[in-house]
Amino acid sequence: MKTSLIQKAINVLEDAHFRVSDCSIVRSCFDILARRDDTILLIKILPNIEGLNHKSALELKNVAVVMSGIPLIIGDHTKNSILSPDVIYTRYDIHVVNIDAFAGILSGRIPSIYSIRGNYCMRIDSRLLSNIRKKLNMTQEELAYQLGVSKQSIYRYESSGRISLNIAEKLMEFLKEDIMVPSDIFTLEINCLENEISTFMTDLKRMVLREFKNIGLDTSLTNAPFDILAREREHHEKILTIVSDDREGLKRKVEIIKDISEITGCYKVCISNRARDLDVLVIRPKELSEIKEVSEFMELLVD
């Protein structure tokens, strides 16, 4: 089922004029990377969304941050129910949708309902609610009485714009106004990296991380087609870095990072003792240790 869901997602993305890289042939926290204009999506396909755990979610969010992208889960069901095409779900602060909802979102049909921990909610225009209430010469307490909620609830609705589905329906029926704001999977904000992800690290990866740090590159260890995402500070260039001596695994990863590099504009490099005949710049660990300046390293990538 996962394979067919991946292909459906790729078809939907391509129909919506995204450039797409299928990353599912290697172990990675995302299965698809897609870009349209300035929007980069990092998509994990999970038929049963219960399969997402805290560690996997952190890995996906961390890569999304450093790639300036948006993490997303496309699934089909939980252990108890099928995902609705009219709802945007949330797991570990990542949006989750089924394939029909995803197709609808890309064509402008955005669900107005979202689910957090099993509770169905809706976003409303909090400022519009406040303005309409004032035009009706109603206090927060009076509106609360009409809806059967507390004054504090009205204050919260006018502050956060988040409201339970049944109260939202009551509110809009009473006001005779549509104050709903559609949810948007493209506005998720994740502002910081979380470092407490235990990742197996080979001696070679440790060495590369150390050498990158010595020449002034910022680095993030990833569970992705690239092992390290390095960032050059002056011009904010990103470098997709494969670090491995596994020849078979290298070939698969190189094919994918070529795609990702072309789609995102990131540089690409492989650090390996054993790589042969790869369509990517290969730097031996000994050669890397001899590089003293980040400018020297970047010149190799550009040539």
- pLDDT tens digits, 255-294: 999 999 999 999 999 999 987 778 899 999 999 999 999 9
pLDDT of 239: 98
The whole-number average pLDDT for the span 232-244 is 95
Chain position carrying tokens 């670090």: 243
What pLDDT is stored for residue 278 in this prediction?
A: 86
Fold entry, domain 203-302: Trna Endonuclease; Chain: A, domain 1 (3.40.1350)
Q: Which of 242, 239, 221 is CA-nearest to residue 294? A: 239
Give, as one character, the DSSP assignment of residue 88.
Answer: E
Look over the chain and give the mean of its residue pLDDT values, rounded to a whole number: 92
* Nearest CA-CA partner of 213 in 225, 205, 202, 224: 205
- Banded pLDDT at 184 (limits 50, 70, 90): confident
CB neighbours of residue 232 within 10 Å: 19
Residue 103 CA: distances (Å) to CA of 110, 114, 132, 255: 10, 16, 34, 27
Separation CA 126–CA 124 (nearest Å): 6
Has residue 41 got a pLDDT over 60? yes
Percent of the chain at pLDDT exceeding 90: 82
Residue tagged 């394979």 (tokens): 3
**pLDDT tens string 24-35:** 999 999 999 999
What is this structure's pTM? 0.88
Confidence of residue 298 (pLDDT cuts 50, 70, 90): very high
Class of domain 121-181: mainly alpha
Confidence label for 116 from pLDDT (cuts 50, 70 and 90): confident
Flag whether pLDDT at 187 surpasses 80.
Answer: no
Same fold, 121-181 and 203-302: no
If residue 22 lies in a helix (H) or strand (E), which one and from where to where? Answer: strand 19-22
pLDDT tens digit string along 44-97? 999 999 999 999 999 999 999 999 999 999 999 999 899 999 999 999 989 999
CATH dotted code for 2-111: 3.40.1350.10
Question: What are the domain boundaries of the chain?
Answer: 2-111, 121-181, 203-302
- pLDDT tens for each residue of 144-175: 999 999 999 999 999 988 899 999 999 999 99
Q: What is the pLDDT of residue 199?
A: 61
